[in-house]
Amino acid sequence: MGKKMNHEDLHLFGIKVVYKNLVDNNYDVLNVRKELDINPQLVARKNDKLYFIVVRTARFPGMGILMPDVAAKVSDHALRHKAICQFASVGVANANGETDEEMGQPEIDGEYYINYKGLMPFPQ
């Protein structure tokens, strides 16, 4: 068995998943912040629109959750910059796990199942 992802590893992995998806969908990624306490994690532009993207990642069977206080702070910041707020919820499972417990322990440089359905607007 490999080294298990800690919270920071998981967070960075989720950002990489969303970053790749943005690039694949013709977004110009302007800034990436990997720190756990900095929001948004990604700033991107597409079709002359600016996007602030908050990424949250969780272990199987969970999905990343946007907390209301984070949404409020990012929304205020986005308003000043005329940016659109988006949320990216990512779930990661260890593809080699045979039980739910093992699947909930993704490993660094392991194989994964990724649950990501794309960007979602912030709740109003």
What is the pLDDT tens value at each position of the chain, 124 positions in all?
Answer: 689 999 999 999 999 999 999 999 999 999 999 999 999 999 999 999 999 999 999 999 999 999 999 999 999 999 999 999 999 999 999 999 999 999 999 999 999 999 999 999 997 6
For residues 13 and 91, is the Cβ–Cβ distance under 8 A?
Answer: no
Q: How far apart are CA 83 and CA 119, in angstroms?
A: 14
Q: How far apart are CA 27 and CA 49, in angstroms?
A: 10
pLDDT score of 1: 62
Q: Is 27 helix (H, G, I), strand (E, B) or coil?
A: coil
Long-range contacts of 16-23 (CB under 8 A, 24+ apart): 17/57, 17/90, 17/114, 17/116, 18/42, 18/53, 18/55, 18/88, 18/90, 18/116, 18/119, 21/116, 21/118, 22/53
Find all residues with CB under 8 Å of 92, minimum gap 6, and list them: 5, 10, 13, 14, 57, 58, 59, 60, 106, 112, 113, 114, 115
For the chain, the maximum distance between any two Cα atoms, rounded to a whole number of angstroms, is 48
